[in-house]
Amino acid sequence: MTPVLELRGIDKSFGPVQVLHDVAFTAYAGEVTALVGDNGAGKSTLVKCVGGIYPIDSGDYLFEGKPVHVNSPRDAAELGIEIVYQDLALCDNLDIVQNMFLGRERRNGLVLDEDSMEELAQKTLASLSVKTVKSIRQLVSSLSGGQRQTVAIAKAVLWNSKVVILDEPTAALGVAQTAQVLELVRRLADNGLAVVLISHNMNDVFAVADRIAALYLGRMAAQVKAADVTHSQVVELITSGRSGELGLKNGSGVTQ
């Protein structure tokens, strides 16, 4: 099966600091791929490279098997890559519909076509079985953390994205809300999207992920099926870059 998203040999430096070394990463349709790694391992940088916020220095970026150049967030959005950031980036003063359509509003002549946008937003939320929101004309400022996460994720679905990248979607949530969001993440993948889940939480990762990619000091230590590894192996990959046969070999150039 061709991965929807495939990166090969990605290098990225900021001035003299090389943050990503020869990173490979793949994400498949219908699967949740967890991207794990310690603070500073390069998760955010990798995601921003995927999203076109940082240009890559070298390496191959393949989308549905074809090499592409992603130089701006717009390029990524056009391919169908949507990133849901940790800080969510919603506008508090706008309602749910307006946030979901922000930047891609529908118009009727010169004015906004509010009714058709509202209807489509409603359908999208219904298709994701989202029932926690009272009215989709609620201002986002009145929503809970979990509801905000839901809106941000639904936005990605609304745009028929092929790849949805979620940056720590459960970091600020309580138990019940975390369960709801993870359920939503699973549903996205079951609907045929390639989902990339960045998380620190091993329980979350093992609850929904099909594959696990572990970054260690800017290198991809391993990308494995979740069923093939144990909890503690993943922790070892995160903390030392290797676990038994898995992971980076000695002499692989890891400085430090």
Asked if residues 95 and 151 have their Cβ atoms less than 8 Å apart, the reply is: no
Strand 107-108, strand 81-84: pairing: unpaired
Spatial distance between the Cα atoms of 187 and 194, rounded to a whole number of angstroms: 11
Q: Toward other proteins, which CB reaches closer, 92 or 228?
A: 92
- In sign, the C-alpha dihedral spanning 92, 93, 94, 99 is negative
Q: Toward other proteins, which CB reaches closer, 107 or 225?
A: 107
Residue 111: CB minimum distance to other proteins, A = 4
Residue 249: CB minimum distance to other proteins, A = 38
Residue 91: CB minimum distance to other proteins, A = 4
Residue 108: CB minimum distance to other proteins, A = 10
Strand 219-225, strand 5-14: pairing: unpaired
Which residues in this chain contact other proteins in the complex, by CB under 8 A?
73-74, 77, 85, 87-95, 98, 102-105, 107, 110-112, 114-116, 118-120, 122, 135-139
Q: Toward other proteins, which CB reaches closer, 47 or 234?
A: 47
Residue 224: CB minimum distance to other proteins, A = 31
Q: Toward other proteins, which CB reaches closer, 116 or 252?
A: 116
Q: Toward other proteins, which CB reaches closer, 58 or 93?
A: 93
